[in-house]
A and B are shown apart, each in its own frame.
Chain A
């Protein structure tokens, strides 16, 4: 029965994702739902490196932007089928991740954070420097919309985009769930929590970290191309501080190092951020303050709180039968 209990939630998850647009039919809520799926995908992919592998990877926004620019350039300059541009964007983000990974080869901890942060900020200069290709500070406009046969994905309150985003979110959640319980995921946790022991047991740090880095980058690149086709425009804002802090707040509010936490974080932060849309700078102040308060009060985020509540609940009901395997959360890096 354990197997049934493990997987019973997934059809339900798919059902909820499928039914949501029937509950929320007005264009604004639909757009919010689409944004939630996109941010959810991005937060999940970032959490793979930041939370599970414990790599100080701050280049994820760069991969997202590179994916968006790849899709925009391909579909406006080459006339390639937009659907084909989506996987290519993932590939180009993976290639970029190879460059960003170079510092991880020989550095550890916070130094990796420094180098990857500089990498994502420098994407802006690269885009501005290649103005002929990227439109420089004007960005790229007029990106063709995705169509399925004769129907535009924009039709009926962007319903098509929602289902594309929801399918991506479902697939990526499943991917993260499978990955974290695979030998790769186990070895990543081992490396994060005790690197000398893990390497002495034959785990190659560089190899495992490179694999998870590339997977995360590929997903972020696909999310970037989704963003480009959704908005129809791409500008250097995509590498900006706004996205960085928004995503960080999702991951840490939801709980870094938990599989589903970032999705919960994406839901909450997207709604809060939308409610403050008209508040100008106050929106960013609230988001930033949210990060700090969560770090103070609940370092394991919503996932940690839920786990605590569940433990209390179980204790009240009597002896615990099958305590779920805890995903070991952050321990000091050596």
Chain B
């Protein structure tokens, strides 16, 4: 039974990480209609920033993370201002935003290398708890990830459903022109959305950095998986994203267990291609997909 429990734990951990990433990407996609290719680099930057706050101020890890989330939200606002909004209205804006966010990835990665150097760094575990259910063990940061990720995304869903700003986000999502007619200023909503998404990525980064070493390229893998999640769940639907994140987590845990670490991404990508061929609008979603 131990193989099953290993797969179960890593499904929940990976699914949680991908959920934090993909929820932000979905949110950005459904309102701004762009994919943020710099999301992985923002995750990485958030992780490093948490590390800096932790080591220079001696604050508790959780406080350092909250500080990093706030700082990264500000960076996210600058990011939106400089790299997304100047291009989004241009003809062929999709491609320009994609190229600009790829350039941002390069910028952030080299910046991190410049600021934090090549030495290996890692965050301490987020907790000492240990839970054992039916032979599967989760402890420390793994446990925190399993609990925190659905909690935060659930909170996001609640905010979108119940609050005024959530209402405006959903209004823009459904009909941009009509929302503007009603006096909703898209720019403020865009800003809110990007800041929330970057904040979630920062949490994912800190969790990841506490489970493995930080490198400037650490965001690339989670970003690729988050894209597969979007393909699976259908970009633009939070419910689809949640299901997709855990489905991809499960797929990756299974393929890693049975085929090894280097084959697992290939198989996950194959799954993505097949889904895109068979059901381009996403397995769990019905919106027609034409960007």
Contact = CB atoms under 8 A, between A and B. Distances in A.
Given A281-B111, A285-B111, A111 B289 contact: yes
B114 interface: yes
A262 to B, nearest CB: 14
Interface in A178-231: none
A244 B114 contact: no
Given A115-B273, A122-B266, A288-B110, A110 B291 contact: yes
Contacts of A282: 110, 114
B224 A121 contact: yes
A113 B103 contact: no
Contacts of B276: 102-103, 106-107, 111, 115
Contacts of A295: 86-87, 96, 99-100
Interface in B166-207: none
Interface in B238-270: 260, 262-263, 265-266, 269
A305 interface: no
A14 interface: no
A125 B92 contact: no
A125 B262 contact: yes
Contacts of B105: 241
17 contacts: A54-B92, A54-B95, A99-B273, A103-B276, A108-B291, A115-B231, A125-B263, A241-B217, A241-B220, A248-B99, A285-B114, A292-B104, A295-B87, A295-B99, A296-B86, A299-B96, A334-B290
Contacts of A125: 262-263, 265-266
Given A56-B98, A285-B111, A285-B114, 19 more contacts: A58-B98, A102-B277, A108-B289, A110-B98, A111-B280, A115-B231, A118-B269, A241-B217, A245-B102, A248-B103, A252-B99, A285-B107, A288-B110, A291-B100, A292-B103, A296-B86, A330-B91, A330-B95, A331-B91
Interface in A294-308: 295-296, 299
B102 A333 contact: no
Contacts of A109: 94, 290-291
A334 B94 CA distance: 11
Q: Is the interface of B mostly helix, strand, loop or mixed?
A: helix
A333 B94 contact: yes
A118 B272 CA distance: 10
A99 B269 CA distance: 12
Contacts of A99: 273
Interface of B: 34-35, 37, 82-83, 86-87, 90-96, 98-100, 102-107, 109-111, 113-114, 217, 220, 224, 227-228, 230-231, 260, 262-263, 265-266, 269, 272-273, 276-277, 280, 289-291
Contacts of B110: 281-285, 288
Interface in A21-63: 50, 54, 56, 58
A113 B289 CA distance: 13
Contacts of A281: 110-111, 113-114
B291 A111 contact: yes
Interface residues of A, number: 51
B91 to A, nearest CB: 5
A126 interface: yes
Interface of A: 50, 54, 56, 58, 99, 102-103, 105-111, 113-115, 117-119, 121-122, 125-126, 128-129, 241, 244-245, 248-249, 252, 280-285, 287-289, 291-292, 295-296, 299, 330-334
Contact of A245 (B34, B106, B263, B280): B106
Given A119-B269, A281-B114, A292-B82, A103 B277 contact: yes
A129 B114 contact: no
Contacts of A106: 276-277, 280
Contacts of B273: 99, 102-103, 115
Contact of A332 (B37, B91, B290): B91
B266 A245 contact: no
Nearest to B268: A122
Contacts of B109: 241, 284
A288 B94 contact: no
A122 B269 contact: yes
